[in-house]
Structure 1
Amino acid sequence: GKSNFRRRIVDLFGKNINHSLVPVEEKTSMVNISGYVGQPKYAKKTMGEQFFFVNKRYMRHPYFHKAVMQAYEKLLPSDAFPSYFLFLELDPAGIDINVHPTKTEIKFENEVAIWQFVHAAVRTSLGKHNVVPSIDFDQNGSIDIPVKSKNKDEVRYPEIKINPDYNPFDSEKTPSVKIPKASGWAKSNLSRWEDLYQGKQLILKPEKAPSPGKEPDVFSQPRESFSQKRVLQLKQKYILSPVKSGLMVIDQKRAHERILFEKFMEVLHSESVASQQQLFPQTIELEPGDAELLKNILDDLLSLGFDIREFGKNTFIINGTPGMLDVSSPEIIIQKLLEEYKNSPVDAKARAKEQVAISLAKASALDYGTELKQVEIDHLIDNLFACKTPNFSPEGKKVLTIISLEDFEKIFNK
Structure 2
Amino acid sequence: MPARRNFLKSDNVELKHIIDEFQRMALAHPECAMSFFHNDKKIFNLTPSTLKQRIVGIFGNRYNEKLVPVKEETSLVVVNGFVGKPEFSRKTRGEQFFFVNQRFIKSGYLHHAISNAFQDLIPEKHHPSYFLFFEIDPKFIDVNIHPTKTEIKFEDEKSIYAIVRSCVKRALGLHNIVPSLDFEKDPAFDNIPTSNKSELKQPSIKVDSSYNPFEEKKNSENNYTPPQKVKTENWEQLFENIPAPQYNTTSEVLEKSWSEDSEETDKTIFQLNNQYIVSSIKSGLMVIHQQRAHERILYEYYLKMQDKDGPSQQLLFPKTVELTPSDMAIVKTISDELLNMGFRFDYLNKNSIVVLGTPTDVEIEKLESFMEELVEQFKNESSIEKHDNLSRSLAKTMSIKSGRKLNPEEMRSIIDNLFACQIPNTTAQGKPTLINLTLEELAKKF
Scaled by the length of structure 1, what TM-score is found? 0.42
Scaled by the length of structure 2, what TM-score is found? 0.39
